[in-house]
Amino acid sequence: MRHRFCTWIKTDLPSFRGAAIADRFYCEFRNGLVHEARIKNGGQFSLEQSCTVNTASGVLSVNPMQLAKEVSDALQQYVATLKSRQSDCRKLLARLKTDFQYELTH
């Protein structure tokens, strides 16, 4: 999961291009929220910053509106790619069948 998530955000979300920031976001935000219902290491969401990601204070701060825009833009690009390349569409279908094999058979 970690590898796929970090690869995706480094590749498709402009503000997370650096490996270190992508890894921090995965550990502090994704894992913190999913597993502990909190953001780890003092990280925070902030609407007061204009950039998506800020680490100036040493704490990872994320503007959720900017993050949503980057995710939306990446999704639109991905959908356009799927529409134009059958091979990518087949790869996605195969991945979904693998990831949801249990759900598809029960």
Q: Is the pLDDT of residue 11 over 90?
A: yes
pLDDT digits (tens, 9 = 90+) for 20-60: 999 999 999 999 999 999 999 999 999 999 999 999 999 99
pLDDT value at residue 19: 79
Q: Which residue has the higher pLDDT, 71 or 106?
A: 71
Q: Number of folded domains in the chain?
A: 1
Alpha-carbon gap, residue 31 to 38, rounded angstroms: 9
Q: Measured on CA atoms in the order 55, 51, 44, 76, is the torsion positive or negative? A: negative
Task: Identify the domain containing residue 40 by its residue range.
Answer: 2-105
Alpha-carbon gap, residue 101 to 87, rounded angstroms: 21
